[in-house]
Amino acid sequence: MPSVYINTDRKPLTGLPPPNPKVKSFHQALPLYRPTPLVSLPEIAQQLGIQYLLVKDESSRLGLPAFKILGASWATARAVAKHVGLETRFLATSENIDNDLSLKNLASAAQTADLALYAATDGNHGRAVGRMAKYLGIKARIFIPGMVDEETKSKIASEGAAVEVVNGSYDQTMIATKLACDQHEGGKGLLISDTALEIEDEVPQWIVEGYQTMFDEIEEQIREATGRQTITHVIVPVGAGSLACAVVTHFSTPRSPKPEIMTVEPESAACLKASLEAGKMTSVHATYTICTGMCCGTLSASVWPILREGVTVASTVNDQEVDKAIHTLQEYSISTGPCGAASFAAIQKLARVEGIQLGPNSVVIILCTEAKRGYELRA
Ligand SMILES: Cc1ncc(COP(=O)(O)O)c(C=O)c1O
């Protein structure tokens, strides 16, 4: 199976939500907020024959080692607000978040309503939901598939969350989590899922909305890094596809040039590439990869219609390529884990593929989504 698919059969995207300016002001008010770096790698750009290669380094985001807290925090806040009747305050009516939606006030509303958070995860999302529960002073139950390692499990538990192992795949874990949330006893369980089982599920859409802050920062940093506002390509890692959906949504607003959105998945869990090739949403049997956060066999239902039209190129990488990319990035002082290095592994490949418009004027951003962590490279 070729590792690159060029999606030529795309229709113009319409009806995507405009950016919500409140997202960034909400994040700015959270503990430990600061923009993550956008790092230029001129030597590698030269080797690849492009003008700029810029790495958005999400290895430390709001005090956690991955970007996922951006979506988990915003979606949790909206879910709590909806439950206590404050939902409209989150709509994009003005730039700033109201003071009465501070973490302190949301915490007291969540505690009064006796809320508990539920999430399925293969690591980063669950830890982020656990952190939000800690901030709000409420309980969290986080469900993980059996293949998740002990270190990841104990990091989630370190947030104070109850961690429960499901003997099955990520897709089966999601279903088990929903069931447990529906059966929550005492108070009310809120399911903070980063993957939609149904196209109209609103929490996964809030997760996508929460990633907006990353792009707001990039828009501010790009001029400083390159002297211009131009971005020609963005390479984004895909698990269930929420981050890629946020990328497509952000760059669908009128601008010239319009960046090409290129995705990367593990060879062993390439459900987006399989779906694009089939022309319909398609599940794959996901098997072990060091890119744990990207090991999803099925896309989030709500992202598929957007990715189908918005992704220009879908690529896959294997664990050996990712491992090599981790070590190369390390030489440039970028310390990342497998999901973070996957987009770097992909650009090495994409730069050599005929039919892909990468050249001396290209300004390429790669999303490097997690910090360095241990992994087991299997033969
Ligand atoms: C570190 C990391 N990178 C990338 C992804 C993929 O994001 P998405 O599931 O939104 O496609 C994940 C998902 O958990 C992740 O943890």
Neighbours of 150 (CB within 10 A): 7
The residue whose C-alpha atom lies closest to atom 10 belonging to ligand 1 is 242
Residues of the chain with CATH 3.40.50.1100: 4-67+211-368, 69-198
**Angstrom distance (rounded) from CA 120 to CA 140:** 11
**Angstrom distance (rounded) from CA 247 to CA 214:** 9
**Angstrom distance (rounded) from CA 222 to CA 225:** 5
For a ligand 1 pocket test, name from 369, 370, 372, 375 the mutation site with the most ligand atoms within 8 angstroms of its C-beta.
369
The answer on pLDDT for 249 being more than 70 is yes
Question: Confidence band (pLDDT; 50, 70, 90) for 301?
Answer: very high
CATH 3.90.226.10 matches 69-198: no
The answer on pLDDT for 98 being more than 80 is no
Q: What is the pLDDT of residue 86?
A: 79
Ligand 1 nearest-atom number relative to CA 246: 10
Ligand 1 lining (C-beta closer than 6 Å): 66, 68, 124-125, 237-244, 293-294, 339, 369-370
Ligand 1 nearest-atom number relative to CA 241: 11
The residue whose C-alpha atom lies closest to atom 15 belonging to ligand 1 is 293
Specify the range with the lowest mean pLDDT, choosing from 2-6, 59-63, 210-214, 231-235: 2-6
The answer on pLDDT for 97 being more than 80 is no
CATH 3.40.50.1100 matches 4-67+211-368: yes
